[in-house]
């Protein structure tokens, strides 16, 4: 074992408990313990609080790079670095619906990027979606999953510890879902008009997640609960939520957070695009212009096109605007998404966890980030 390092902070949140005037003890990239500061006299002083690193399961871009436009290992590394500066220490880099060739290229880029700091795995959002619920996805690129698609995805799953595929029942059969789940893919329902009964059938087949709850899906009605109702009522389904004040109303978010049946819960995602960490005012996706203004990203017709937030911004929003306790807001973006992926050593700072953490300021921003105990660089 290498020599341990101690980090002293005014407060440390371990995922369940706040420790005042404490020191986080780290060795070999893992958390050894949290002790009182007096028991770690040589600790490095960190202003503010130390909290578990955020886990973002839906990140399309960052640092000026959109994965669809730079489908390389370098593109993945740039995206992960950009989000690490905002406290996200584990990122599922996401490819939005694209051509079969680009989907294959994304899988290859993901393989090449394995081991890159902050890269958790690959999220393929489409192309096997419902044409009627396309959102910002290119209608011309949405298609039904065929045998070659399924073979490519199941083969790719063996290369990644973590892989998400967002699919719609309109384009993917129950048998195909079972094959994906058996291969280790986390299958998520999204961009679909499926009703609650069909969502239940797909959960029986292995679906365990719902992509960006409320957006691009059937809404909860008193006689037709649809996918929103199924997501909230079915304790097997984890549900991602974009908390930026534009994608979902505050009231709907509060209702979902109060009403979700467990053990699966709601978790926060950023759905971030290339603008994060930059002053970009526009960019392209599948040849279409996306405009950035007033905290929103939209197509020319006003359709929302991803989100202009990092995950820490969602934490701050649910804490300050929805009134959730800070520790609850943090867990929605760290512990809950880690649990959704079956990961037990991230999202908290208890002994044995990966030493992934960041310096949380009183303004609920990130002021320094460590991955496996190593500082990743100065924050913007």
Q: Kindly list the catalytic residues.
A: 271
User: Cα dihedral sign for 125, 127, 133, 135?
Assistant: positive
Residues paired with 5 in a beta bridge: 26
Q: Which residues contact 151 (CB under 8 A, 6 or more apart)?
A: none
Residue 215 assigned as binding residue: yes
Identify whether the C-beta of residue 220 lies closer than 8 Å to the C-beta of residue 232. yes
Identify whether the C-beta of residue 366 lies closer than 8 Å to the C-beta of residue 359. yes
DSSP state of 131: G
CA–CA dist 120, 107 (Å, integer):
13
Give the side-chain half-sphere CA count within 13 A for 300: 5
User: Cα dihedral sign for 307, 196, 332, 321?
Assistant: positive
Element (H, E) at 292: strand 288-293
Identify whether the C-beta of residue 310 lies closer than 8 Å to the C-beta of residue 60. no
CA–CA dist 239, 228 (Å, integer):
9
Residue 232 CA from chain centroid, whole number: 19
CA–CA dist 262, 339 (Å, integer):
12
Residue 143 assigned as binding residue: no
Residue 147 assigned as binding residue: no
Element (H, E) at 83: helix 73-84
From 84, 190, 176, select the one nearest 134 (Cα to Cα).
190
CA–CA dist 224, 190 (Å, integer):
17
Residue 212 assigned as binding residue: yes
CA–CA dist 372, 313 (Å, integer):
23
Residue 306 assigned as binding residue: yes
Residue 223 assigned as binding residue: yes
Residue 304 assigned as binding residue: yes
End-to-end CA distance of the chain: 33
Identify whether the C-beta of residue 361 lies closer than 8 Å to the C-beta of residue 379. no
Annotated binding site for Zn(2+): 125, 191, 212
Annotated binding site for substrate: 136, 215-216, 223, 247, 304-306
Annotated binding site: 125, 136, 191, 212, 215-216, 223, 247, 304-306
């Amino acid at each position: 074992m290498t020599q341990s390092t101690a980090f002293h902070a005014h407060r440390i949140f371990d995922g369940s408990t706040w420790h005042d005037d404490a020191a986080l003890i780290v060795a070999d990239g893992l958390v050894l313990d949290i002790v009182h500061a007096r028991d770690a006299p040589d600790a490095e002083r960190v202003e503010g609080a130390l909290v578990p690193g955020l886990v973002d399961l839906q990140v399309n871009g960052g640092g000026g790079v959109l994965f669809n436009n730079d489908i390389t290992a370098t593109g993945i590394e740039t995206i992960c670095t950009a989000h690490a500066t905002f406290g996200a220490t584990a990122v599922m880099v996401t490819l939005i619906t694209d051509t079969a060739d680009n989907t294959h290229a994304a899988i290859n880029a993901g393989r090449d990027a394995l081991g890159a700091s902050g890269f958790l795995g690959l999220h393929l959002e489409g192309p096997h979606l419902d044409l009627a619920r396309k959102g910002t996805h290119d209608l011309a690129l949405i298609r039904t999953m065929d045998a070659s698609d399924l073979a490519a995805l199941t083969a790719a799953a063996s290369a990644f510890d973590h892989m998400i595929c967002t699919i719609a029942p309109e384009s993917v059969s129950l048998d195909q879902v079972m094959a994906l789940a058996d291969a280790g893919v986390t299958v998520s329902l999204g961009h679909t008009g499926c009703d609650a009964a069909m969502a239940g059938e797909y959960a029986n087949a292995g679906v365990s997640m719902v992509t960006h709850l409320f957006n691009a899906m059937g809404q909860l009605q008193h006689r037709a609960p649809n996918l929103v109702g199924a997501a909230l009522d079915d304790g097997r389904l984890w549900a991602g939520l974009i908390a930026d004040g534009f994608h979902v109303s505050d009231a709907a978010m509060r209702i979902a957070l109060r009403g979700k049946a467990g053990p699966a819960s709601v978790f926060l995602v950023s759905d971030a695009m290339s603008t994060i960490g930059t002053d970009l005012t526009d960019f392209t996706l599948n040849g279409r212009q996306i405009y950035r203004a007033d905290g929103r990203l939209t197509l020319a017709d006003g359709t929302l096109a991803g989100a202009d937030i990092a995950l820490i911004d969602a934490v701050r929003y649910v804490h300050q605007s929805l009134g959730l306790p800070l520790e609850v807001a943090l867990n929605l973006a760290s512990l809950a998404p880690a649990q959704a992926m079956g990961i037990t050593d991230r999202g908290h700072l208890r002994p044995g966890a990966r030493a992934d953490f960041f310096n949380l300021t009183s303004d609920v921003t990130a002021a320094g980030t460590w991955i496996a105990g190593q500082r990743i660089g100065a924050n913007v």
